[in-house]
Amino acid sequence: MTDAATCPYSGKPLNELTLTDPLIQAQPTEFYARMRAEDPVHFDEKLGMWLVTRYDDIVELLRDPETFSDKHGYEKQYASGYFEEFKQILETEGGGFFSDAIKSDPPYHTRIRKLLDKAFTAHRVKSLEPGITKVISNAADKLMEKAANGEVVDGVREYAIPLTIAVICEQMGIEQYNGEKISRWSEAITAQIGRMQDHDQMVANAKEICDLQNFIIAQMKDREANPKEDMISDLVHATTEDGEKLTFAEAVSLIRALIIAGNDTTATAIGNLMFILASKPDLADELYNNMDDRRYMNRFVEELLRYAPPVRGLAKMTTRECELGGQKLPKGAHMLVMYASGNDDDSKFECPREFSTERPNHGSHLAFGVGIHRCVGASLARMEINVAAKELIKRAKRLHLQVAPEDLTYQPTVATHTIAKLPLTLEPRS
């Protein structure tokens, strides 16, 4: 993170700044602070969206799904500017265009959410921990083997992404998979809601999503004939409380969401974890000394999610004229809810740019959202981050960043704050 004194865009008028600027995407802290102070519900003209930046306004919005629609905001965001062509590509080559069932509004959302909540009960997630620990331990061993001779490794591509893909594929029952292909699918989905792609990129990403959907449909057909103890089987054979099965389109949509969301944002969080440990060696020592303390580890993960949330912002749309944060909004206002800015709001979190496991309100962060759309897989993500941190710090005494922090590259998207490459050397423990 860059402080205001060294921020390369500090001093420019707010109306000259935009979240579409790659520099601001990479180093957003000052931009967030300026909006919270000067214009907390700020219209970004180049992006064409209202940015909601203060913690209290974000919570108010998220607790009012009737006024601020998830469904309409998400649909407006998707393949922005090229939606009809994108839809046609999926219908022609990808088995169909399937609206995202989880990004819907009540009462339909309520029906879908109840089904998904059954897959992520605390008991079920706890039962997964031994298997997930084994997967992550293997990933950490592979990383350290490569780093043993001082070789530079990519923390994102060689640890964060492979381990989260391996975990979600195990839960979904996908035994044979191509990790690089799943990573490309994840990037394609993120790009479609990131509002940064040009036409050629949209077409390329649409082709990747077609490949993903065709893969999912083949997996579904296999589970219809041969049910297994996995999440794909659960969804293919699931019934609602009124005894109805999910439709084909709903099942494709939900499996797609679980495969992608189940690895993409968690991988971002683990990449952020590695960057923070490389930047704060005292924190790495603190983590190692307390890794067997469950209370400490829980607090560490919550503070990580507050300090560096993987999701930057997600879309909403007003269903009526309203007022938020002193700003009058028309019906149909397209909004980006800036979770990362809310987590950095010093009216809620004292000294927000300090990483403190003793923060009294660390659990109030917005990384997983609030209200009916709170992340369904939050407990699983927490556990993966916890285990990934422990398994890494058991093996690596120090992580050394091989470029200046300001030279790190990030995925071009307004939706997440994802490090694209994280070159590190690792100092092994004796």
Distance CA 46, CA 79 (A): 16
Q: Who's near 351: CB < 8 A, 6+ residues apart?
A: none
Q: What is the pLDDT of residues 150-177, one digit of tens each?
A: 899 999 999 999 999 999 998 899 988 8
DSSP state of 416: B
Q: Are 296 and 390 in contact (CB under 8 A)?
A: no
Residue-by-residue pLDDT tens, the chain, 430 positions: 444 456 888 889 999 999 999 999 999 999 999 999 999 999 999 999 999 999 999 999 999 999 999 999 988 888 777 889 999 999 999 999 998 888 889 988 888 888 787 777 777 788 889 999 999 999 999 999 999 888 999 999 999 999 999 999 988 999 888 889 999 999 999 888 878 888 999 999 999 999 999 999 999 999 999 999 888 998 898 877 777 788 899 999 999 998 988 788 999 999 999 999 999 999 999 999 999 999 999 999 999 999 999 999 999 999 999 999 999 999 999 999 999 999 999 999 999 999 999 999 989 999 999 999 999 889 999 999 999 999 999 999 999 999 999 999 999 999 999 999 999 999 999 7
DSSP state of 239: B
Q: Calculate the alpha carbon distances from 58 to 15, 43, 109, 375, 377 in Å.
A: 21, 15, 20, 15, 21
DSSP-derived pairing of the beta strands 314-318 and 334-337: antiparallel
Q: Calculate the alpha carbon distances from 198 to 177, 188, 201, 241, 420 in Å.
A: 29, 13, 5, 43, 19
Give the pLDDT of residue 171.
87
Distance CA 355, CA 253 (A): 37
Distance CA 201, CA 204 (A): 5
Give the pLDDT of residue 175.
85
Q: Are 417 and 310 in contact (CB under 8 A)?
A: yes
The DSSP secondary structure of 256-299, one letter per residue, reads HHHHHHTTHHHHHHHHHHHHHHHH-HHHHHHHHHHTT-HHHHHH
Distance CA 179, CA 158 (A): 11
Task: Record the pTM.
Answer: 0.92
Q: Which residue has the tokens 């407990």?
A: 379
Q: Who's near 124: CB < 8 A, 6+ residues apart?
A: none
Give the pLDDT of residue 1.
46
Distance CA 155, CA 166 (A): 16
Which pair of tokens denotes residue 140?
Answer: 């950490």
Q: Calculate the alpha carbon distances from 88 to 94, 124, 132, 189 in Å.
A: 9, 39, 38, 16
> For 148-247, where are the alpha helices, taking DSSP H only?
155, 161-172, 179-192, 199-225, 231-236
**Beta partners for 423?**
154
What is the sign of the dihedral through the CA atoms of 74, 362, 378 and 22? positive
Between the CA atoms of 378, 366, 194 and 93, what dihedral angle is there, to the nearest 10 degrees? 30
Give φ, ψ of 338 to 5 degrees: -90, 80
